[in-house]
Amino acid sequence: MKSGIALLRRWGWFRSLTVFVLVMLIAMSLVVGGAAGLAWTETQEFCISCHEMRDNVYKEYKGSIHDTNRSGVRAICSDCHVPREPVALIKRKFMASFELYHKLIGSIDTRDKFLAKRYELARHVWTRMKATDSLECRNCHHREAMSSELQSEKAQRRHKKGVEQGMTCIDCHFGIAHDEPEGPEGPRDMKVERIL
């Protein structure tokens, strides 16, 4: 009888260990799979996999300073449209999942529909970038690393004025990688409360 109880106790320990190992394997698979999924959705290939992006904004990006430049440093879609900080990244990915609804209903599935919504779409991006103090720009462009001596006098004056007035990158640099949409105001005119 005692040996049977001892065997059950050992079996209980073995079963607990087995359950623990299985739970850890499942958790690790979810983390690794989730990380791989997040990484895949940040590739240029993923971003232009739908014709709405490939045929509209990607065509504008091609040949821009963020695509081709003297230093060979390239910024792809995710560099400008997805934050790098973990919490901000997950929040942005979650919000982007709502864009699938518009893909399903065909909100911008033709060039004419895209152009009709272009200003509204741009305002969404400008609002987010103003609220985060152009966080995505600052992933690559660090104000303290800028060499004013290498800038024109006009750029030096404008950067100084922008800092003094609490402006952010997108207030002035909003037609860098994409055509500027037709609309009543640009980012500089928009009043957005900063979250960072």
Whole-number mean pLDDT of the chain? 85
- Sign (positive or negative) of CA dihedral 125, 111, 46, 30: positive
Q: Answer for the pair 141, 176: CB distance below 8 angstroms, yes or no.
A: no
Same domain, 22 and 73: no
Same domain, 142 and 111: yes
Predicted confidence (pLDDT) per residue in 74-97, tens digit: 999 999 888 888 888 888 888 888
Q: Specify if 165 maps to a domain.
A: yes
Q: What tokens does 15 get?
A: 């079963």
Predicted confidence (pLDDT) per residue in 115-146, tens digit: 999 999 999 999 989 998 998 888 888 888 88
How many distinct structural domains can be found in the chain?
2
Predicted confidence (pLDDT) per residue in 7-37, tens digit: 556 656 566 667 776 777 787 776 667 778 8
Domain of 61 in residue numbering reads as 48-189
Same domain, 144 and 173: yes
Same domain, 61 and 36: no
136: enclosing H helix or E strand: helix 135-138
Same domain, 53 and 36: no
Is pTM beyond 0.85 here?
A: no
Residues 6+ apart with CB under 8 A from 25: none
Same domain, 103 and 70: yes
What confidence score (pLDDT) does residue 156 get? 92
Same domain, 19 and 93: no
Same domain, 105 and 71: yes
What confidence score (pLDDT) does residue 13 get? 59
3-state secondary structure (DSSP) of residue 187: helix
